[in-house]
Amino acid sequence: MPFSNSRLRGARLAAIALSASFAFSAAPALAEGVVNIYSYRQPDLIKPVLDAFTAETGIDTEVLFLDKGLEERIAAEGQNSPADVILTVDISRLTNTKEKGVTQPVDDPAINAAIPAEYRDPDGHWFGVTRRGRVIYASKDRVSDTDISYADLADPKWAGKICIRSGQHDYNLALFSALIAHWGEEKAEQWMEGFKANLARKPEGNDRGQAKSIMAGECDLALGNTYYVGLMMTNDKEPEQKEWANSIHVIFPSIDDAGTHVNISGMAMAKHAPNRENALKLMEFLASEEAQEIYAAEVFEYPVKEGVEASDIVKSFGTLNADKLPLSEIAGHRKAASEMVDRVGLDDGPAS
């Protein structure tokens, strides 16, 4: 059976409150016509594409949103877990679902044909759905340079000019992992020391907050994801965010000549998916051209499927030349990147 409305509401409240006291019924969801989704992605971001899936297939979707502990919850539920599909952000969270043993391999010709090899697990445990570039937000008023590499961010010319969120955040750790994969740990650590010296303040806030700091004159450059710029540009509920977006332009840095680091949102099939056929249909749909176009238009992310174009807003940022290094290889350096952040003291700020 699918989640009941009352239990789903309770589960959402429990997840948002980070309470461990609520649990689903032990009875698995076996009825036809439903797919149960455990998601790290905000419900409003995935609703348009899930609505399109239901309209096309007649299969309902039930979503449980959690902001942490998703893998642990599925593991604790064991064979009785209702979870069919896992939706998440960041390569580290995707690889973590595999390492925690809560996924199963999927070998589907349609999915494999749609998603390039660098954006899927070699063993079929996870697949990228959308891409986002980890780019430089630069002040329109104070930065005339349009060609800045990641390596350049350690140049003393930018001393006191750079803002970032915590170095231990998944998005930054993924970038640092990519630098280690390309440069090796010694060179990457030397770079991080120079990067830290160029910080304007102690790392804080989120990606949108870095754009706000640039508008306020606290810094001239920041690291951020591309899709946040689109979300800020179109945010009618909080119009001040449009001002933040209008104060910056996007620069696509490169790792030497390899291209811009990209991260992904992704999907995986839960290990004990009770509605496996419906889960596979959803995964095939998410890899399809139709779903990729919806994601591109609604969430301002880059499609993973070749031939599907980004939205006009995202195109206005410039051309993304994405690093082709497999994300599975980049993810292998996450632990080293996290330890490096602590060793260098990046989150302590420039004066430490």
Q: Would you say 150 is a known binding-site residue?
A: no
Delimit the CATH 3.40.190.10 region(s) of the chain. 5-130+263-313, 132-261+316-348
Q: Find the helix or strand (DSSP H, E) in which 138 lies.
A: strand 127-139
Q: Does residue 212 contact residue 174 with C-beta atoms inside 8 Å?
A: no
pLDDT digits (tens, 9 = 90+) for 249-286: 999 999 999 999 999 999 999 999 999 999 999 999 99
Specify the pTM.
0.87
In CATH, what is the architecture of 132-261+316-348? 3-Layer(aba) Sandwich (3.40)
Torsion of CA 150, 154, 155, 160, to 10 degrees: 120
| pLDDT given for residue 352 in this prediction | 61
pLDDT reading at 22 higher than 80: no
Q: Is 227 annotated as a binding residue?
A: yes
**Structure tokens given for 33:** 């016509």
CATH superfamily of 5-130+263-313: Periplasmic binding protein-like II (3.40.190.10)
Query: pLDDT at residue 164 above 50?
Result: yes
Q: What is the overall mean pLDDT for the chain? A: 91
